[in-house]
Amino acid sequence: MSFNLFKAARAFTAVASFSVVASLGSPVVAETAWKPSGPVNVVMHTKPGGTADIFIRTLAQSLEPMIGQPIVVVNAPGAGGATQMAHVSQAKPDGVTIGINTMSHFTSMLTNLKGTFSVDDFSWIASTQEDPIIYFVRTDSEIKSLSDLVAKAKASSGTINIGGFGPVGSMQHLGTAMLESAAGVKFNWVGFDSTPDIMTALLGGHVDVGVSNLGPTAPFFESKRIIGLGVLGEKRLNGLPDVPTFGEQGYKVDTSWVQVRGVFGPKDMPLELQQQIADAIHEAMKAKTYQDYARSTGVIDSWMGPKEYDAFVRDVSKIATKQLEAAGLLQ
């Protein structure tokens, strides 16, 4: 199934990319319409050191001077995102408490958090990133490619442990389910609350394969402690040019099933306030410090404001439903 929704979103925001290129040579404008009344709490669903955590801490460097307030990162992992979402949903809709969401928020609200939270319980403020996931192993592993992984899985069905973020039904688990379907094998999914936990388990020999994004794993690649097996994306990553895509290795999966990051807040935030927050965040993303980080980690900038992002969230939830059904995780 082709995930054309992402291509449509990229087309919608293509004009914004020109303004980024034009602004890289100059500092980010220090004025913004968003003037929060105090420090802004950004609640995370992961522990420190995860991909989304690195994103907001990097963005804060250019965002704080613009809004005149510090960004306080509140790490609230656990329960497949429920801890974070509870924190955000209970906050006042004044923009002082917001959260960072990923694709797993949408899959969780269809699976383990169904009946607890839904997209209608929040304000969907802005999109910020698309980020392909990568599969990797320890350098001393006998698995050197996806073909090696598939062969080993066929020889020992269900005993190959793959560790990634979130429970069964999470974004990374669904990517793994796609590989299972394409290769005709079964893996054992092991869910974690952060990339550092995934790396600890992999390097300690508790899982055979890790799944994450390039941002938090780059130091491990650079120090040659891990090697890449494949990129679930349309093309190779600039930061890992030697790691082929799934498609290049003969495994037909939905290569546009990429991680999405955005900003959300409590229900009933005024649309004007949401737009001010979106504008400030997108302006801060144009800073050279942020762009250097984004390009080095292979993420794709995304520029949707509240109206567009809310529509995107509802559409992507429908597509996530189809992916979950295809994986046999929804009845």
Q: What is the pLDDT of residues 201-239, one digit of tens each?
A: 999 999 999 999 999 999 999 999 999 999 999 899 989
- pLDDT tier, 22 (very low <50, low <70, confident <90, very high otherwise): very low
Domain ranges of the chain: 4-131+259-326, 133-249
Contacts of 179 (CB under 8 A, 6+ apart): 146, 185, 187, 232, 246, 251, 253
pLDDT of residue 220: 97
- Say which residue, 12 or 306, is predicted with more confidence: 306
Q: How far apart are CA 326 and CA 179, in angstroms?
A: 12
pLDDT of residue 25: 44
**Per-residue pLDDT at 7 exceeds 90:** no
**Per-residue pLDDT at 65 exceeds 90:** yes
Q: What is the pLDDT of residues 72-82, one digit of tens each?
A: 999 999 888 99
Share of the chain above pLDDT 90, in %: 76
- Full-model pTM: 0.84
Q: What is the pLDDT of residues 114-159, one digit of tens each?
A: 999 999 999 999 999 999 999 999 999 999 999 999 999 999 977 9
pLDDT of residue 331: 65
- Tell me which CATH homologous superfamily contains domain 133-249: Periplasmic binding protein-like II (3.40.190.10)
- Tell me which CATH homologous superfamily contains domain 4-131+259-326: Bordetella uptake gene, domain 1 (3.40.190.150)
**Per-residue pLDDT at 55 exceeds 50:** yes
**Per-residue pLDDT at 68 exceeds 90:** yes
Q: What is the pLDDT of residues 268-310, one digit of tens each?
A: 999 999 999 999 999 999 999 999 999 888 899 999 999 999 9
Q: How many alpha carbons fall within 13 Å on the CB side of residue 129?
A: 27
**Per-residue pLDDT at 36 exceeds 80:** yes
pLDDT of residue 38: 97
Q: What is the mean pLDDT of the chain?
A: 90
DSSP 34-103: ---SSPEEEEESS-TTSHHHHHHHHHHHHHHHHHTS-EEEEE---GGGHHHHHHHHTS-SSSSEEEEEEH
The H or E element spanning position 191 is: strand 188-192
Give yes or no on whether 4-131+259-326 and 133-249 have one common fold.
yes
